[in-house]
Amino acid sequence: MGKGVAITGMGIISAIGNNIDENREALFAGKTGIGRVVKINTNHKNEIMVGEIAYTNSQLESLLQLPETNNYSRTALLGAVAAKEAVESACISDINEYKTGLISATSVGGMDMTEKYYYEYLEDKTVQKYIEAHHAGDSTQKIAEQLGLKNSLVTTISTACSSAANAIMLGARLIKSGKLDRVIVGGADCLSKFTINGFKSLMILSDTYNTPFDENRKGLNLGEAAAFLVLESDAVVKAENKNVLAYLKGYGNANDAFHQTASSENGDGATLAMKQALKVANLNAEAIDYVNAHGTATGNNDLSEGKAFLRVFNTMPPFSSTKPFTGHTLAAAGGIEAVFSVLALQHNVLYPNLNYKTPMSAFNLVPELELKEKPITNILSNSLGFGGNCSTLIFSKQA
Partner 1 sequence: MEKVYINGLGSISAQNTFDNSEFLNTVEFYTENVIPAIDVNYKAFISPAAARRMAKGIKMGIAASRTALQEANLENVDAIITGTGMGCVRDSEKFLSAILDNDEQYLTPTPFIQSTHNTVGGQIALDIGCKGYNFTYVHASVSFESALLDALLQLKLKESHSILIGGVDELAPHTIEIHKAVNHIKSEVVEASKLLENKSKGAVFSEGANFFVISNEKSETSYAEVVGVKLINTLEADELETELKAFLKEQNLSMQDLSTVVLGCNGDVEFDGFYDVLVENSLKDTPQLYYKHLSGEFHTASSFGFWLAARVLKSQTIPKAVVLKGDMPSEIKNVLLYNQYRGQNHSFTLLKSC
CB of 376 to partner 1, least distance (A): 28
Size of the site for partner 1 (CB under 8 A): 67
Which of the stretches 6-14, 72-80, 210-218, 381-389 binds partner 1 when contact is defined by CB under 8 A? 381-389
Q: Which is nearer to partner 1, 114 or 210 (CB)?
A: 114
- Phi then psi for 308, rounded to 5 degrees? -65, -40
x/- binding map, residues 186-225, to partner 1, per CB under 8 A? -------xx--xx-xxx-----------------------
Q: Which is nearer to partner 1, 132 or 370 (CB)?
A: 132
x/- binding map, residues 257-276, to partner 1, per CB under 8 A? xxxxx------xx--x----
x/- binding map, residues 42-81, to partner 1, per CB under 8 A? xxx-------------------------------------
- Within 8 A by CB and 6+ apart from 252, the residues are 272, 273, 274, 275, 276, 277, 278, 279, 280, 391, 392
Which of 210, 253, 304, 353 binds partner 1 (CB under 8 A)? It is 253
Q: Which is nearer to partner 1, 104 or 353 (CB)?
A: 104
CB of 202 to partner 1, least distance (A): 5
Which of 114, 341, 381, 382 binds partner 1 (CB under 8 A)? It is 114
Which of 158, 221, 322, 396 binds partner 1 (CB under 8 A)? It is 158
Q: Is 173 in the site for partner 1 (CB under 8 A)?
A: yes
CB of 36 to partner 1, least distance (A): 16
- Determine whether 262 is exposed, middle or buried from the number of CB atoms within 10 Å of its CB (0-12, 13-18, 19+): middle
Which of 8, 107, 211, 298 binds partner 1 (CB under 8 A)? It is 107
Which of 209, 313, 363, 386 binds partner 1 (CB under 8 A)? It is 386
Cβ atoms of 163 and 106 closer than 8 Å: yes
CB of 247 to partner 1, least distance (A): 20
For Cα atoms 304, 248, 6, give the angle at the middle one, nearest 5 degrees: 165
CB of 188 to partner 1, least distance (A): 13
Which of 46, 58, 59, 155 binds partner 1 (CB under 8 A)? It is 155
Q: Tell me the C-alpha distance between 141 and 153, whole Å.
A: 11
Which of the stretches 22-30, 82-90, 108-116, 313-321 binds partner 1 when contact is defined by CB under 8 A? 108-116
CB of 364 to partner 1, least distance (A): 27
Which of 73, 75, 159, 383 binds partner 1 (CB under 8 A)? It is 159
Q: Which of residues 118-137 bind partner 1 (CB under 8 A)?
A: 118-119, 121-122, 128, 131-132, 135-137
Which of 57, 70, 71, 255 binds partner 1 (CB under 8 A)? It is 255
Q: Tell me the C-alpha distance between 147 and 388, whole Å.
A: 33
Q: Tell me the C-alpha distance between 253 and 251, whole Å.
A: 7
Which of the stretches 182-190, 211-219, 248-256, 342-350 binds partner 1 when contact is defined by CB under 8 A? 248-256
Give the binding site for partner 1 (CB under 8 A): 42-44, 102, 106-107, 109, 111, 114-115, 118-119, 121-122, 128, 131-132, 135-138, 140-141, 144-145, 149-160, 166, 170, 173-174, 177, 179, 193-194, 197-198, 200-202, 253-261, 268-269, 272, 385-389
